[in-house]
Copies of this chain bind each other. A is one copy, B any other.
């Protein structure tokens, strides 16, 4: 049996709801992201794929022959960060680095059949996970959330 609240517990109060932080978009974004990311990891754990790698595979399957530089730009990360991910995906047999006639600097990323299948499975897992995770939210709220998140993502300070 847990102890009843001590004097200190009462002093401190747990109404974090009224904290300054709760009014900040950044703080709420972070907390929501942490929750969703944890569930993502649990859901796609059986596919043994991180969010980053899932994203890279997703774009490679949907945009075959994409280059690493293009992929990095789409994902919003640096080129150098992609190398290990592509190594991993290639090691799993999910894609191939293919030479591009006309520009020998470039390596086009081509999904394999195994890669397409693995992606379809992972995507289904991710979608099922989100459906369950957000089952307490009506569809129009999810739509609104997506719309507002895109608006935030493209926000830039005026200068």
Contacts and interface: CB of A to CB of B under 8 A. Distances in A.
Contacts of A70: 12
B137 A11 contact: no
Contact of A153 (B24, B31, B136, B155): B31
Copies assembled: 2
A158 interface: yes
Nearest to A15: B63
Nearest to A106: B8
Given A21-B58, A151-B136, A36 B26 contact: yes
Contact of A34 (B51, B74, B76, B145): B76
Interface string A53-84: 00100110011011100100010100000000
A28 interface: yes
9 contacts: A8-B108, A12-B63, A12-B66, A12-B70, A23-B146, A25-B142, A28-B145, A28-B153, A133-B155
